[in-house]
Amino acid sequence: MELNKNINGNKATVYLEGRIDAKTAPDVQEALLALPAEVKALDLDFTAVDYISSAGLRMIMVVQQSYEDKSGSLKIMGAKDEIIEIFEVTGFTEFLDIEY
């Protein structure tokens, strides 16, 4: 899993590449929660994410809750159809901001 961050004021865009699974999700979560406190808007670019497991879904929930707690926002961008389908089947499309 590769992760690249672009922080501009109170907005961060994080580009993810690879698989988000039980092995990589804890590191991704740690990196996202370690972003500066000034960051209120977090965009996760899923363009290069090939797979997400239940551990990855849990990580997204934890990070989203963290941003909601500080009156921020989390948005998923560029997810492939296979990832969108996982979000749909698990009900994540009901509470995630997903840019198709």
Q: How do residues 33-64 score in pLDDT, each as one tens digit?
A: 999 999 999 999 999 999 999 999 999 999 99
Per CATH, the number for 2-99 is 3.30.750.24
Q: What share of the chain is helix, strand, coil (3-state, %, to 5)?
A: 35, 35, 25
Domain ranges of the chain: 2-99
| pLDDT for res 56 | 98
Residues 6+ apart with CB under 8 A from 32: 14, 42, 44, 59, 63
CA dihedral angle for residue 35, residue 38, residue 16, residue 32, rounded to 10 degrees:
30
| pLDDT for res 60 | 98
> How far is the C-alpha of 86 from the C-alpha of 34, rounded, in Å?
26
| Token pair listed for 17 | 């590449």
